[in-house]
Structures are given as structure tokens and as C-alpha cells.
């Protein structure tokens, strides 16, 4: 028992969070470059102009991965580095960077897993409406086509879009991520629909252009956890809570996944939001719903539910006072990696992976010059034990990507949160492997038998 023998153990990063070189070699500004310029948007007033300087230090970073037995690396591509105008002329210097990065991975025995879009939209496309523009699916298809043509001979595994909920929910609804908009529900629904259609078009392009391609989709969720696993009524209550409609289309799990996998919006969601969908949206389902080789979720925390005698049949259970949290304030709920994959596998029946999971800690370089992070080791150990339990109980789980390989620019938190297995001294760029990296290396070596 345990994890499958061919289980994918990896780490993940995102281009804007680590690359830096924000205006080098023909790259144009992204929405995050411009968002960071606005006072008060980033907690520590920082930006991604240098970040981890991965653009110049990628060989060092890839070598460090290989040294610790990491065989799978999920990275993302910066759209404005490849197409500075969003469409049209290709920036050959940008292509050259990713060619070098991919070749370096392969030279070190690391399999590249490419995320096509991890939030850094070219700012020039945002000025044309961004995800609100009905042309976005074709812009996205063109961009995907360039990646397929230039890298598809070596990259066979793709995630189309990372955390669509956050792209629209945080960026277009709450206004706390780039581009910082606060749109009404009608516009949110349209933006979500354009995003889902973009995912579908990307799948079509990849299938057409890349031989032996494998395609996934990387939304995020906070799984519902039954209070008492031995009570069928609590398990059913958690399942209902997980998949039920909520008053926010951006963060409604089924609104962002049912069309992709099942080919339809959920009925309870249509009752709330169907009136906002663009005319003729039904015909778009044949574009949105494309075959996936794997379905993934970014999972950090969940919430507990139990059966209740009310209209829903369930209620959320408050966590005890003083409940354990990470440095960023997120609740530590290891069972999320059992019940999330279990419920999602039962609903969608697509091979499943965890595309992100990890912990922000108050890391520091100790007097001995090392970074000791026992809390991160314990967190990851607990979560992976639950993921293994799901695998042993029949869930088709194929992989796990730890977030993140290195400390980085954590979006609106700037450099105040550290999720990495590698400590980054932002003043000098020095990399210091944390104890958790050695622990994770042993987990990979034993295929989780050390858990």
C-alpha cells in the first residue's frame, strides 16, 4: 500500500514570484508590475522587479533541486516575456530564456511541468479589457500556440490556468490582487466564462500541436471535512457543503470545475448566475469541456462541517479557540488532503494531483547558519499522511507538488511570508536549503514510506 510506484513528487513556483528581470530582454510590464506601483497595494511596499533573480540564477536553482532528488518541477511562463504586445510578434529573447531553463531541467533529470498562466497577464491586454474581453480565448489560444510550437518537443505536461478563482475573485471582484478591480456579479460571471473558454481553447491548441501531450487544470479549493468521519450524515453534509452553490461565482467550486469536466454549469449555480451569462453561452460548452489527463487542486486548508436540521442539511463547525495556524494565519487542517481528493475523485473521476500545498513559517537563519523549520516538516508530514490515506482508499492520486521550492514574492503580502523549502536572502540572493528540503528529499527517495 501507500503511493503508486510512479507517483509524481515535485515542487512548484510561478514566474512573477521568482524571475525578476521585469523589463529585461524585451519583456513588457504585466498587470502585477503595474499593480505593485500603486501605493498601499503590497503589504511591505515591495515589487517583483528582482524577486529571487531566478532569471539570472536558474542554473543554480535547478542544480539545487537535482541535488535533493527532485525529479518534477512545476514552473510557469511569463506571457509578457513571450509576447510583449500580448499577441503578434514573438520575443525571441524570452523564448531563449525558457529554452535554456527547460534544457537545464532535462540535463539534470528533472521533468518540466509547465503552467501556461499563473497570473502575469500583459498589462497591454488588461487595457483592452483583460478577462472581460470576449477576444481573450483567442488571445490565450495564440499564446498557448507559441508555447506549444517552441517548447512542445520537450515539455509534455501542461497546466492551463492556475487558480482561476483568485484571478477573477481577488483581481476582478475583491480588488486585492492585480488588476485591482471591484466589478459587479454580472461582469464577474462574464470574466469567469471567458476564462473557462480560454482554458478550453488552450487544450485544443495543445492537442493539435504537441505529440504525447498531457493536460491538466489547476483551480484551488478549501475542502469540506466531516466533523465525525464515522457518521455517514456528517460525511454527506460535508459533501453537500463542498459542492453546493454559494453567492460568489468566482469561489464556487462547481462553477469553475463542472463546465471543464462535466460540460455544464451546475443547476444550483445557474439559478443564481445563469441570467448573467453571455447570450449563446451553451454553445461554448463544447469548447470549455475538453479531455483532461489530470485534474488538480491547490489545497492549503479546509473547513469542518456536520449534519444539521436546517434548509441546507449542514452547518459549519467553528474551530476551537487557539486552533493551530500557519504564519500567514491559515488554519492547519491536514484532513483536507483526504476529503478534498476523495470528494473530487468521486464527482469527476479524473486522475488527481495536488498542484500546490505548503506552509508559510517564521523562518530565520539561525546562529549555526542554517534554517531549521520543524513546523513545516510536521505540517507537510501530516498532510501527506492524509493524502496517502486517500490513495490507499481508492482515490486515483498521481502526484503532489510542494509550494514552494523557494521563498518568493508572495503577491499582496510582498516578501513578508516564506513558503519555500529554500530560504532566500533577498538582499544578497543567497539560497540556504532548509531542513524541510532534506526531509522532503527523503520522502521522495522512499516514495512516502517515511511518513
pLDDT digits (tens, 9 = 90+) for 384-419: 999 999 999 999 999 999 999 999 999 999 999 999
Q: How confident is the model at residue 1 (pLDDT cuts 50, 70, 90)?
A: confident
Mean per-residue pLDDT, 113-126: 98
Buried/exposed 399-431: b ≥16 CB within 10 Å, e otherwise: bbbbbbbbbbbbbbebbebbbbbbbbeeeebeb
The rounded percent of the chain whose pLDDT value lies above 70 is 100
**300 pLDDT band (50/70/90 cuts)?**
very high
- Name the burial class of residue 374, with classes exposed (0-12), middle (13-18) and buried (19+) by CB atoms within 10 angstroms of its CB: exposed
- Is residue 18 within 8 A of residue 115, CB to CB? The reply is no
Strands 303-307 vs 314-316: parallel, antiparallel or unpaired = antiparallel
Residue 253 burial by Cβ neighbours in a 10 Å radius (0-12, 13-18, 19+):
buried
pTM score of the predicted model: 0.98
Q: How confident is the model at residue 90 (pLDDT cuts 50, 70, 90)?
A: very high
Task: Please give the C-alpha separations between residue 130 and each of 122, 138, 182, 194, 215, in angstroms, as whole numbers.
Answer: 9, 12, 14, 10, 24
State how far the Cα of 103 lies from the Cα of 99, in Å rounded to an integer.
6
The answer to whether residue 366 scores a pLDDT higher than 90 is yes
What is the average pLDDT value for the chain, to the nearest integer?
Answer: 98
For 436-449, write each residue's pLDDT tens digit: 999 999 999 999 99
Give the relative orientation of helices 92-107 and 54-67 as an angle to the nearest 10 degrees: 10
Residues 361, 327 contacting (CB under 8 angstroms)? yes
Report, as residue numbers or ranges, the catalytic residues. 163, 356
pLDDT digits (tens, 9 = 90+) for 32-65: 999 999 999 999 999 999 999 999 999 999 999 9
Amino acid at each position: 500500500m501507500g503511493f503508486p510506484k510512479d507517483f509524481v513528487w515535485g515542487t512548484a513556483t510561478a514566474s512573477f514570484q521568482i524571475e525578476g528581470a521585469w523589463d529585461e530582454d524585451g519583456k513588457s510590464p504585466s498587470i502585477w508590475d503595474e499593480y505593485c506601483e500603486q501605493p498601499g497595494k503590497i503589504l511591505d511596499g515591495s515589487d517583483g522587479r528582482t524577486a529571487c533573480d531566478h532569471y539570472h540564477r536558474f542554473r543554480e536553482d535547478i542544480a539545487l533541486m537535482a541535488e535533493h532528488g527532485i525529479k518534477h518541477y512545476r514552473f510557469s511562463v511569463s506571457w509578457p516575456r513571450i509576447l510583449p504586445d500580448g499577441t503578434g510578434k514573438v520575443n525571441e529573447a524570452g523564448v531563449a530564456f525558457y529554452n535554456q531553463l527547460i534544457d537545464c531541467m532535462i540535463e539534470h533529470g528533472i521533468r518540466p511541468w509547465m503552467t501556461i498562466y499563473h497570473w502575469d497577464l500583459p498589462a497591454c491586454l488588461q487595457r483592452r479589457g483583460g478577462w472581460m474581453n470576449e477576444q481573450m480565448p483567442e488571445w490565450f489560444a495564440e499564446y498557448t500556440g507559441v508555447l506549444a510550437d517552441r517548447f512542445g518537443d520537450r515539455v509534455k505536461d501542461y497546466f492551463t490556468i492556475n487558480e482561476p478563482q483568485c484571478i477573477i475573485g481577488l483581481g476582478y471582484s475583491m480588488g486585492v490582487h492585480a488588476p485591482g478591480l471591484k466589478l459587479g456579479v454580472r461582469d464577474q460571471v462574464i470574466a469567469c466564462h471567458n476564462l473557462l473558454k480560454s482554458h478550453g481553447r488552450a487544450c485544443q491548441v495543445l492537442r493539435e500541436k504537441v505529440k504525447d501531450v498531457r493536460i491538466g487544470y489547476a483551480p484551488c479549493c478549501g475542502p469540506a471535512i466531516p466533523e465525525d468521519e464515522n457518521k455517514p450524515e456528517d460525511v454527506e453534509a460535508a459533501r453537500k457543503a463542498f459542492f453546493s452553490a454559494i453567492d460568489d461565482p468566482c469561489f464556487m467550486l462547481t462553477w469553475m470545475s463542472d463546465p471543464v469536466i462535466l460540460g455544464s454549469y451546475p443547476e444550483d449555480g445557474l439559478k443564481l448566475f445563469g441570467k448573467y451569462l453571455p447570450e449563446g453561452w451553451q454553445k461554448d460548452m463544447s469548447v470549455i469541456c475538453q479531455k483532461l489527463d489530470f485534474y488538480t487542486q491547490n489545497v492549503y486548508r479546509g473547513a469542518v462541517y456536520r449534519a444539521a436540521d436546517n434548509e441546507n442539511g449542514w452547518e459549519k463547525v467553528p474551530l476551537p479557540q487557539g486552533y493551530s495556524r500557519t504564519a500567514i494565519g491559515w488554519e492547519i487542517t491536514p484532513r483536507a488532503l483526504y476529503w478534498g481528493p476523495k470528494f473530487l475523485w468521486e464527482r469527476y473521476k479524473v486522475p488527481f494531483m495536488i498542484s500546490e500545498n505548503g506552509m508559510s513559517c517564521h523562518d530565520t537563519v539561525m546562529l549555526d547558519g542554517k534554517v531549521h523549520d520543524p513546523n513545516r516538516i510536521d505540517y507537510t508530514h501530516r498532510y501527506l499522511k492524509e493524502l496517502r490515506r486517500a490513495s490507499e482508499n481508492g482515490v486515483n492520486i498521481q502526484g503532489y507538488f510542494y509550494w514552494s521550492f523557494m521563498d518568493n514574492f508572495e503577491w499582496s503580502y510582498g516578501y513578508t511570508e516564506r513558503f519555500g523549502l529554500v530560504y532566500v536572502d533577498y538582499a544578497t540572493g543567497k539560497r540556504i536549503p532548509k531542513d524541510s528540503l532534506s526531509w522532503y528529499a527523503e520522502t521522495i527517495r522512499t516514495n512516502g514510506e517515511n511518513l
